[in-house]
Amino acid sequence: MAIFAGEMLVSVFLTLVVTAGLDTTLTASHVTALKEAVPTTRLATASSTVQLRTLQSAGAYRPQHLSALIPSLHIPEYGASLTSTIYLRGLGSRMENPVMGLYVDGIPVIDKNAYDFDWEAVRCATLLRGPQGTLYGRNAMGGVLALQTLSPASGEKPLFYMEFGSANTLRTGGSFTRGNHAFAASFRHTDGFFPNAAKGQNPCDPYDGFQAHWKWEKSKNNLALSNIFRLGLSQEGGFAYGLYENGTQYPVSYNDEGSYKRLSVLEGIRIKHSGAKYIVEGTASLQALADDMHMDQDYTAKDIFTLQQKQLSGAATAEILLRKANRTDSWQPTTGLFGFYRLNHLLAPVTFKREGIQTLILDNANKNIPDDIGYLDIPDQTMPVNSEFIIGSWNVALFHESVYRTGAWILTAGLRLDYEGARMDYDCLAQLHYRFDPTMQSAKPFEVPYRGTRNHGRVQLLPKISALYEASQTLKIYGTVARGYRSGGFNTQIFSDILQNQTMNAVMKDLGVYLDRPMTSVNAGHTEYDPEQAWNFEAGARLRRGQVKADAALYWLEVENQQLTTFPPGKSTGRMMTNAGHSRSLGAELEAQWNPGEWQLSAAYAYCDARFTRYNDGNNDYALKRIPYIPAHTLYAGAGYNWKIKEATLKLHASLRGTGPFYWNEDNTRREPFALRVDARIGLSFPRFELYLRGENLTDTRSNVFYFKSVGNEFFAAGKPLALYTGITFKL
């Protein structure tokens, strides 16, 4: 890590040196967030772009806030900042690798734990839906979210804002540009929205976070340079999960620590050289993330077991793109080479507490031992199961995409050859004292180590072919066939389960007692899961006429080796990703905007029918069942009106946002109905400042956003209740 930190400092230093050297000669320039050779309006793929004004009126400053605002996108707000569960077009799972690639000013964010951050500097968010694997590679199976941040070239006036509201939520920040530099920073605090009954009704989800962003851009003649640096620091609670038992949903009530701390750093450089014939673009970044999560893993007021997950990871990425300089040529090729390396040191100790030792371990063991023989006891108050992982992952890819324009047609074909490898070294140790009554007079110290290495490498071919037809100046129709993939990985969360069972079997062996049915669980072979692949067949239409924008798309996604979160049977403590099934998603998306006069009208709707085509977990066949966690509908409808009163403008905006219904489990017995929420904002804007009042979930709709099982119990996470905020924005 020291080496990594050193490289990062050198990188920042070099950037500053280059900055100093060029400062007097270069002029500012924009950097683009996307790699495509043509603008999004001419892309043969569904895309949505949300500008700053829309983000502000929708109160959107985190990825979750784009849910439903962009059709088919669902990012439920639960857990903590590391959660970032993304569902898009029927793809997605609640843990491990995301189905959406995230790019900040063209820099890929490698660690999903860093996806969720406050967008203090974001000025535009573009989501390309459907597999974008040819240009973006890994994890862009459902799409790519490209964030473009404040540019020094924008000439944007200094901005300062402060907002206060429900749960003592304070959000403040600002941004300004000076010369070739753009700066932004923000701070957010909230007391939290969900009281924890086991801790005197104190909210379990407080948050304090600070973000800082710096961007530098320069260009001279045929050279353009940019650098971005962002830093995020946060400390929060979370995991507002309430027990569901016998048809009753209980409030949050857990007794152990639930917290998450994170430091994330991203430093990226982009260089663009425009020659007479070719343009060469280079992108490189260094990324670091240090976080520490504590979780009461039984989520009850009982002393059962806790989990800590502490990681220190660093990643380096590099990409080089070669394009034609003449942008008017009918043939526009893009050829690229991409690579990254990530190293993650992860500590994930699970501590079984007194009641957990009894119920999860001893009861299981003793139920198989006849009373007349004796019983096993572990007199420890806590039993640690320590797990340490060093996980390296790397990727190298060569890709090409050609866009050919002939008449009213834009034809695109591309292919990516992608290799991803990974290696995990695990070193786990369970420690306890045990005693068998009546044969042992005193407890015997006992240790069970579990060490090893797993590694894998996979090659992927990611083709794409598409055609777009410009039927008129206003209407374009397109069709696309593309393949994407989501990386495989390692199930680190299942190790506590493995250790728990191995420990008991080892104790029994040490005692000379052999169960007819030894406690079995998954083994090291189950700790790996393979990549998931998807073929996308899509047709769409795009209309641009005056103030009217409308997009429609129909898609059919076939998913192979689908990554699913599964739970080992019984009172298991872990969960794991398995390549359990095959599925397909059929869907339709509609998006429209119309801005007549002072009105702003917008709507987004998506329907998704995502079902397993093949999934048998050994006990049940789930073919044709709906895939859990995927909303069948996402809906957004917003209306705004600006009413000018002399120098002031009264800005009114209201929106409806709905998602659902969901099925929470594979056999579709737990269902969440479609739920609508109403948001509204009223602002009084003057030339230099704006006062506003905004409300979220004004109807205080109670719905659930997450469901899971832990040690045989069921839990729900509820959506945020009604919240009101008032704020002021200064433009100096």
Q: Which stretch binds other proteins (CB under 8 A): 247-255, 432-440, 569-577, 625-633?
A: 432-440
521 φ, ψ to 5°? -150, -170
Q: Which stretch binds other proteins (CB under 8 A): 76-84, 258-266, 435-443, 463-471?
A: 435-443
d(CA 146, CA 167): 31
Candidates 185, 506, 515, 722; binder of other proteins (CB under 8 A) is 515
Site for other proteins in 456-485 (CB under 8 A): none
Q: Closer to other proteins at the Cβ: 509 or 702?
A: 509
Q: Closer to other proteins at the Cβ: 51 or 439?
A: 439
Closest by alpha carbon to 64, among 657, 663, 692?
657
The SS3 of residue 171 is strand
Candidates 275, 370, 445, 618; binder of other proteins (CB under 8 A) is 370
Q: How far is the CB of 513 from other proteins (least distance, A)?
A: 5
Q: How far is the CB of 510 from other proteins (least distance, A)?
A: 8
Q: Which stretch binds other proteins (CB under 8 A): 8-16, 330-338, 436-444, 608-616?
A: 436-444
Q: If binding is defined by CB under 8 A, does position 373 make contact with other proteins?
A: yes
Q: How far is the CB of 437 from other proteins (least distance, A)?
A: 9
Q: How far is the CB of 357 from other proteins (least distance, A)?
A: 18
Q: Closer to other proteins at the Cβ: 511 or 639?
A: 511
Please tell me what DSSP assigns to residue 371. T
Candidates 3, 247, 328, 372; binder of other proteins (CB under 8 A) is 372
The neighbour count for residue 325, using CB atoms within 10 Å, is 13
Closest by alpha carbon to 266, among 213, 312, 337, 342?
213
Q: How far is the CB of 444 from other proteins (least distance, A)?
A: 7
How many residues of this chain bind other proteins (CB under 8 A)? 20
Q: If binding is defined by CB under 8 A, does position 20 make contact with other proteins?
A: no
Q: How far is the CB of 450 from other proteins (least distance, A)?
A: 23
Q: Closer to other proteins at the Cβ: 516 or 647?
A: 516
Candidates 251, 282, 333, 374; binder of other proteins (CB under 8 A) is 374
Query: ∠ CA(33), CA(588), CA(409), 5° rounding?
Result: 60
Q: Closer to other proteins at the Cβ: 377 or 591?
A: 377
Q: Closer to other proteins at the Cβ: 374 or 721?
A: 374
Q: How far is the CB of 372 from other proteins (least distance, A)?
A: 7
The SS3 of residue 54 is helix
d(CA 701, CA 3): 50
Q: Which stretch binds other proteins (CB under 8 A): 26-34, 296-304, 367-375, 629-637?
A: 367-375
Q: How far is the CB of 380 from other proteins (least distance, A)?
A: 17
Candidates 124, 197, 511, 724; binder of other proteins (CB under 8 A) is 511
Site for other proteins in 572-631 (CB under 8 A): none
Closest by alpha carbon to 375, among 419, 440, 284, 314?
440
Q: How far is the CB of 89 from other proteins (least distance, A)?
A: 50
Beta pairing partners, 532? 486
Contact yes or no for 429/447 (Cβ under 8 A): yes
Candidates 154, 274, 335, 368; binder of other proteins (CB under 8 A) is 368
What DSSP string runs through 578-644? EEEEEEEEEEEEEEEEE--TTEEEEEEEEEEEEEEEE-B-SS-B-TTPBPTT--SEEEEEEEEEEEE
Cβ contacts of 703 within 8 Å, gap of 6 or more: 660, 672, 673, 675, 677, 718, 719
Q: Closer to other proteins at the Cβ: 373 or 417?
A: 373
Please tell me what DSSP assigns to residue 523. -
Q: How far is the CB of 498 from other proteins (least distance, A)?
A: 22
Q: Which stretch binds other proteins (CB under 8 A): 20-28, 212-220, 506-514, 690-698?
A: 506-514
Contact yes or no for 462/481 (Cβ under 8 A): no
Q: If binding is defined by CB under 8 A, does position 445 make contact with other proteins?
A: no
Q: Which one-letter amino acid corresponds to residue 611?
A: R
Q: Which stretch binds other proteins (CB under 8 A): 186-194, 256-264, 321-329, 366-374?
A: 366-374
The SS3 of residue 504 is helix
Counting Cβ atoms within 10 Å, is residue 295 exposed (0-12), middle (13-18) or buried (19+)?
Answer: buried
Q: How far is the CB of 303 from other proteins (least distance, A)?
A: 27
Beta pairing partners, 243? 715
Integer Rg of the chain from CA:
27
Closest by alpha carbon to 48, among 129, 103, 115, 130?
129
Q: If binding is defined by CB under 8 A, does position 439 make contact with other proteins?
A: yes
Candidates 512, 525, 597, 618; binder of other proteins (CB under 8 A) is 512
Binding mask 387-426 for other proteins (x = CB under 8 A): ----------------------------------------
Q: Which stretch binds other proteins (CB under 8 A): 6-14, 170-178, 354-362, 508-516?
A: 508-516
Residue 250: which H helix or E strand, with range?
strand 248-252
Q: If binding is defined by CB under 8 A, does position 516 make contact with other proteins?
A: yes
The neighbour count for residue 357, using CB atoms within 10 Å, is 22
The neighbour count for residue 392, using CB atoms within 10 Å, is 14
The SS3 of residue 702 is coil
Closest by alpha carbon to 474, among 543, 410, 408?
543
Contact yes or no for 206/190 (Cβ under 8 A): yes
Q: Closer to other proteins at the Cβ: 406 or 441?
A: 441
512 φ, ψ to 5°? 80, 30
The neighbour count for residue 649, using CB atoms within 10 Å, is 16
Q: Which stretch binds other proteins (CB under 8 A): 148-156, 331-339, 510-518, 552-560?
A: 510-518
The SS3 of residue 204 is coil
Contact yes or no for 592/549 (Cβ under 8 A): yes
Candidates 369, 475, 543, 676; binder of other proteins (CB under 8 A) is 369
Q: If binding is defined by CB under 8 A, does position 513 make contact with other proteins?
A: yes
Q: Which stretch binds other proteins (CB under 8 A): 226-234, 434-442, 453-461, 693-701?
A: 434-442
Q: Closer to other proteins at the Cβ: 407 or 514?
A: 514
Compute the CA torsion angle 416, 144, 315, 76 (nearest 10 deg).
-140
Q: Which stretch binds other proteins (CB under 8 A): 169-177, 299-307, 431-439, 555-563?
A: 431-439
Q: Which stretch binds other proteins (CB under 8 A): 59-67, 369-377, 409-417, 521-529?
A: 369-377
Placement of tokens 């905004």 in the chain: 694
Q: How far is the CB of 711 from other proteins (least distance, A)?
A: 23
Q: If binding is defined by CB under 8 A, does position 441 make contact with other proteins?
A: yes
Structure token pair of residue 608: 């998704």
Binding mask 517-556 for other proteins (x = CB under 8 A): x---------------------------------------
154 φ, ψ to 5°? -70, -25
Counting Cβ atoms within 10 Å, is residue 348 exposed (0-12), middle (13-18) or buried (19+)?
Answer: buried
Candidates 53, 327, 444, 545; binder of other proteins (CB under 8 A) is 444
Q: If binding is defined by CB under 8 A, does position 362 make contact with other proteins?
A: no
Cβ contacts of 265 within 8 Å, gap of 6 or more: 8, 229, 230, 231, 232, 286, 287, 288, 289
Q: Closer to other proteins at the Cβ: 313 or 505?
A: 505
Q: Closer to other proteins at the Cβ: 473 or 514?
A: 514
Q: If binding is defined by CB under 8 A, does position 647 make contact with other proteins?
A: no
The neighbour count for residue 702, using CB atoms within 10 Å, is 11
Residues at the contact surface with other proteins, assessed by CB under 8 A: 368-370, 372-374, 435-436, 439-441, 444, 510-517
